[in-house]
Structure formats: structure tokens, C-alpha cells
């Protein structure tokens, strides 16, 4: 298991960060603006509700088909990759993945790695692992680059620097880019980022990327982007390493057509992104560019725990579009950093317990009103609200209880006194005499209700029983049974 602590913050401190975030007016207003923007971009893409629902059915079917065959598809994918001349590695944990990538870098004497956007590499905290070993990773996606300069983590899986204003970025660039004057002009800022990073593409020893989709039949990696940094990272350096979760593979290249449409439309409201970069193997003898060596690292890191349980398996249907967070009232108010996990928002709440264990993430699954917005927009129909309820159940389950698919950290939020209260309540409910007595006592003794009621009164007025119970009132009206 991955025993290394999270580098920046811990999801276990979620509650403290939430109250800080809620007090931050600037963050609140920039989050609101960003959410409105992303929501309207998405809805403009899905004007035909029937088409949307059919496509979601299809996306769900493709992902479920792939997951049902996952072990066989991974073996087939591995064989297709190897036939194309790609080296395949398997990483059970984050540390395994880091060690594999470090090993490849060492073999080539690499000092610098240019990175296309990869959430999996954020998940394993590759940059810090390699930095500690003298290898520098430079993020080349503009948003990731901004976040790296600020020594932060992405606050959104598609728009990493969503929390930053152009003024914040103006200051960052002025501090970090030589001869760069302060500006809030977005075109000038992007041009500065382009100029700074251009030489890095040419100089890097290794390019590292994530993978959006992978086809088992052809061994193709399907990368989706707008900037061209993903193409540069996977084309210019002599070695390309792709890091991907094991769940990304689908059976056939043709199965990606509906997923690609769902991804770009749900994520950024684009019918298609500027580049779909389909990679099937390294440079061949007759070719004059492209990496001479290619590696694919298949990452488990807790995914197989989600896979083991039929209900939780649907977590792995995710195509990382970010629509759930864009529509989440909690995410919109606290922002991505409050979660303290690589994947924030609703998808983060349901995947992080598998990656990190429930011990550190038990509070995350409670941070939902279960309004259902995430489930309604999910392009592959992950039933996020019911998975949240399930994970709450597991977090509150007696750690000693034997279950078929125990989750790491089962019972992290378990409390004996809470269990006692529920036992009393369910016992009282089943025995009318005790229940009636309790009801009588609660209404008559309402003056003694404590003004401080644990967590409840932190943000709310105390609960005080009514003068008369509903049953009493009905009886007085002669409406009781």
C-alpha cells in the first residue's frame, strides 16, 4: 500500500479547509463564474435531449462492456502494444509507478521530463518523487504549468488553474519568467508561457503523458487536447512514457467514437477538441520523428478494490470529463483544493476512498447534499449519489464486521456511541410502549433540550421538540386511528 503522505495537504483536514474556503470571497466569486461558464458551454452542446440520453446510454454500455472484460482486455492491449514495439509495465501502487518511471529515466540518463497533462501522474505525485531524485519535470499544459509555478495541485481535473485569476497569473509569471512584466492580458500571458516552454520541448530527454482512451484491439493511445503540448510531449523527446489507469482500456478503437464525443462535449463544451492524437507505437525505421522508445505504465493503485465490488465498479466507468464537479453545489462553493485529493468534486469523493483508503477520506463522502446533479450530468451514467451513500455506509460500518468486499479503512467514521443511539432508536421504534413514552417525555421536557448539540449546532439553531407530537395533535382533532 502507498504509505507516503500526500505532499501538499491531507484529505483528512477537509473540514478545516472547507470553512477557510467558504470565507474566501474571491474564490467564491471566481468559482461561481467558472461553473456558470462550463455549465453553459456544456448545455449548448446538448440541445437535443433525446440524442444526449441515447449517447449517455451508449457511453455507459461501452464502459461497462470494457469493465466486464477488463482482465482479458488488458492482456490483449498489452499484446497489441508489444506488437507495435511498446514496452508495457504494470504498477500495483503509486510507488511502483514512480519507481518504474524513475528506472526508465535512469536507463537513459535523463535529467528533464516534459509532461503533457496527466491526472494519473498527479495521483502518484510523480513530479516530487523524481525531483527528490534529481530529475526535473516540467508541466507543459498551460493550466498545469501555472499550478506548478505556484507549487499547488490542480483544483479541477480539466481546468487545473480554475481557481486562479488573471491577476494571480500575472504576478506568478512576473516572479518566475525572466524579463516578464506584470500583465493581465491573457494573450500576452499565453505567449509568455509558450515562449518559456518551447525550448523545454526541444531539450527534454523524455516526454510523459496521460491517456484519455486506449483500444485493446489496435494498441492505440487516444489523447485529447487543445494546446498541442500533448502532441509535442509525445512526439519530440526521444522517449515517450504514457501513464494510465488500468480502467482506461476499451475493447475496440471504434468503441471510442461515442466516448470521445461525450468527453469533449461534457468537459469543455466542444464538439471536438483541437487535437485528437492517436498513437500506435514508437517511430519506425523509415520515420524521421516521433519517440524512438515508448513505454506504457498500467496503474492499479486501488482501482482493483473498486473493481471487486459490483456496485462500486461503476466508479471506474469515469472518463474524467469533470462535468460532475462543474455541476456540484459543494464543489462550486469550496473549490478543488479543499478536498485535499488529486481528484476533487463528486468523482473525487467516490474514487479517492479506493486510492487512499477510507481513513483519510471518510469525511469527503459526507460532503454532499445528495442533490443528484452529478449523476444527472455524468456522460457514462455513474450513479454517483448512490455510491456516496454506499461509501458512507462503509465508513460507518463496524471495523470488526466481516463483509464480502471490505474496503481499506472500513469503519473510519464508526462510533460506538452513534451505534448505541441508533440501536436505542430502532429498538424504541419497534416497541410502541417505549416509543410512546419517549414521545411523551420529549415533548413535555422540551425546555431541557440542550442548547449545544454537538456538530448540529455548529452551523444551525438547536433542535427543540414541538409542544405536542403529531400523533397527539391528530388525536385531539379526532383523526387518530
Among 255, 320, 337, 349, binds other proteins (CB under 8 A): 255
Judged by CB, which is closer to other proteins: 34, or 380? Answer: 34
CB 313 within 8 A of CB 127: no
Residues numbered 416 to 475 that lie near other proteins (CB under 8 A) are none
Judged by CB, which is closer to other proteins: 252, or 439? Answer: 252
Q: How far is the CB of 205 from other proteins (least distance, A)?
A: 11
Q: State residue 433 phi and psi, 5-degree precision.
A: -65, -45
32 scored as a contact of other proteins (CB under 8 A): no
Round to whole Å and give the CA distance between 84 and 238.
17
Q: How far is the CB of 28 from other proteins (least distance, A)?
A: 15
Among 109, 178, 179, 271, binds other proteins (CB under 8 A): 271
User: What Å distances lie between residue 41 and 24, 37, 141, 267, 331, CA to CA?
Assistant: 26, 6, 21, 9, 18
Of 126-134, 245-253, 324-332, 460-468, the window that binds other proteins (rule: CB under 8 A) is 245-253
By CB under 8 A, how many residues form the interface with other proteins?
101
Residue with cell string 456511541: 417
Judged by CB, which is closer to other proteins: 304, or 386? Answer: 304
Q: Strands 206-209 and 220-225, how do they pair?
A: unpaired
Q: How far is the CB of 173 from other proteins (least distance, A)?
A: 10
Residue with cell string 467514521: 413
481 scored as a contact of other proteins (CB under 8 A): no
Q: How far is the CB of 91 from other proteins (least distance, A)?
A: 6
107 scored as a contact of other proteins (CB under 8 A): no
Round to whole Å and give the CA distance between 62 and 250.
7
What number of helices (H) and strands (E) belong to the chain? Answer: 23, 10
Q: State residue 447 phi and psi, 5-degree precision.
A: -65, -20
Round to whole Å and give the CA distance between 363 and 358.
9
165 scored as a contact of other proteins (CB under 8 A): yes
Among 275, 414, 435, 438, binds other proteins (CB under 8 A): 275
407 scored as a contact of other proteins (CB under 8 A): no
Judged by CB, which is closer to other proteins: 263, or 362? Answer: 263
298 scored as a contact of other proteins (CB under 8 A): yes
Residues numbered 41 to 60 that lie near other proteins (CB under 8 A) are 54-55, 57-58
Q: How far is the CB of 101 from other proteins (least distance, A)?
A: 13
Closest of 431, 422, 438 to residue 471, by C-alpha: 438
Of 220-228, 331-339, 417-425, 429-437, the window that binds other proteins (rule: CB under 8 A) is 220-228
138 scored as a contact of other proteins (CB under 8 A): no
70 scored as a contact of other proteins (CB under 8 A): yes
Q: How far is the CB of 90 from other proteins (least distance, A)?
A: 4
289 scored as a contact of other proteins (CB under 8 A): yes
Among 45, 121, 193, 381, binds other proteins (CB under 8 A): 193
CB 396 within 8 A of CB 413: yes
279 scored as a contact of other proteins (CB under 8 A): yes
Judged by CB, which is closer to other proteins: 11, or 154? Answer: 154
235 scored as a contact of other proteins (CB under 8 A): yes
CB 215 within 8 A of CB 222: yes
118 scored as a contact of other proteins (CB under 8 A): no
68 scored as a contact of other proteins (CB under 8 A): yes
User: What Å distances lie between residue 335 and 33, 256, 445, CA to CA?
Assistant: 12, 31, 43
Among 18, 34, 124, 384, binds other proteins (CB under 8 A): 34
Amino acid at each position: 500500500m502507498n504509505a507516503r503522505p500526500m505532499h501538499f495537504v491531507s484529505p483528512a483536514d477537509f473540514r478545516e479547509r472547507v470553512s477557510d474556503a467558504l470565507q474566501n470571497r474571491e474564490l467564491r466569486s471566481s468559482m461561481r463564474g467558472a461553473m456558470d461558464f462550463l455549465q453553459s458551454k456544456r448545455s449548448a452542446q446538448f440541445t437535443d435531449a433525446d440524442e444526449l440520453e441515447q449517447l449517455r446510454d451508449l457511453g455507459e454500455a461501452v464502459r461497462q462492456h470494457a469493465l466486464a472484460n477488463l482482465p482479458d482486455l488488458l492482456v490483449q492491449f498489452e499484446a497489441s502494444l508489444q506488437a507495435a514495439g511498446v514496452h508495457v509495465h504494470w504498477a500495483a501502487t503509486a510507488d511502483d509507478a514512480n519507481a518504474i518511471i524513475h528506472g526508465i529515466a535512469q536507463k537513459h540518463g535523463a535529467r528533464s521530463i516534459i509532461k503533457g497533462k496527466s491526472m494519473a501522474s498527479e495521483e502518484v505525485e510523480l513530479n516530487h518523487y523524481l525531483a527528490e531524485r534529481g530529475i526535473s519535470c516540467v508541466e507543459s499544459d498551460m493550466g498545469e504549468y501555472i499550478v506548478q509555478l505556484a507549487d499547488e495541485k490542480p483544483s479541477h481535473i480539466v481546468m487545473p488553474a480554475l481557481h486562479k485569476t488573471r491577476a494571480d497569473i500575472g504576478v506568478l509569471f512576473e516572479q518566475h519568467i525572466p524579463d516578464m512584466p506584470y500583465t493581465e492580458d491573457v494573450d500576452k500571458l499565453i505567449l509568455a508561457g509558450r515562449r518559456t516552454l518551447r525550448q523545454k520541448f526541444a531539450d527534454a530527454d523524455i516526454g510523459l503523458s496521460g491517456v484519455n482512451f486506449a483500444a485493446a484491439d489496435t494498441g492505440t493511445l487516444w489523447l485529447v487536447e487543445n494546446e498541442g503540448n500533448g502532441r509535442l510531449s509525445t512526439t519530440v523527446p526521444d522517449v515517450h512514457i504514457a501513464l494510465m489507469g488500468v480502467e482506461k482500456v476499451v475493447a475496440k478503437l471504434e468503441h471510442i467514437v461515442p466516448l470521445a464525443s461525450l468527453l469533449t462535449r461534457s468537459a469543455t463544451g466542444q464538439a471536438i477538441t483541437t487535437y485528437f492524437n492517436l498513437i500506435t507505437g514508437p517511430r519506425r525505421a523509415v520515420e524521421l520523428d516521433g519517440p524512438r522508445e515508448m513505454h506504457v505504465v498500467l496503474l492499479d493503485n486501488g482501482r482493483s478494490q473498486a473493481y471487486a465490488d459490483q456496485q462500486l465498479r461503476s466508479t471506474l466507468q469515469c472518463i474524467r470529463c469533470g462535468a460532475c464537479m462543474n455541476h456540484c453545489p459543494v464543489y462550486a462553493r469550496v473549490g478543488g483544493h479543499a478536498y485535499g485529493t488529486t481528484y476533487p468534486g463528486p468523482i473525487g469523493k467516490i474514487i479517492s476512498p479506493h486510492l487512499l483508503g477510507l481513513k483519510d477520506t471518510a469525511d469527503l463522502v459526507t460532503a454532499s447534499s445528495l442533490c443528484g446533479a452529478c449523476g444527472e450530468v455524468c456522460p457514462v451514467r455513474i450513479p454517483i449519489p448512490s455510491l456516496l451513500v454506499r461509501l458512507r455506509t462503509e465508513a460507518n460500518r463496524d471495523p470488526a464486521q466481516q463483509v464480502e468486499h471490505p474496503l481499506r479503512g472500513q469503519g473510519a467514521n464508526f462510533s460506538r456511541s452513534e451505534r448505541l443511539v441508533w440501536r436505542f432508536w430502532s429498538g424504541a421504534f419497534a416497541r410502541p410502549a417505549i416509543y410512546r413514552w419517549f414521545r411523551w417525555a420529549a415533548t413535555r421536557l422540551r425546555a431541557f433540550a440542550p442548547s449545544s448539540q454537538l456538530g448540529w449546532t455548529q452551523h444551525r439553531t438547536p433542535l427543540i421538540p414541538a409542544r405536542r407530537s403529531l400523533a397527539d395533535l391528530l388525536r385531539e382533532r379526532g383523526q387518530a386511528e
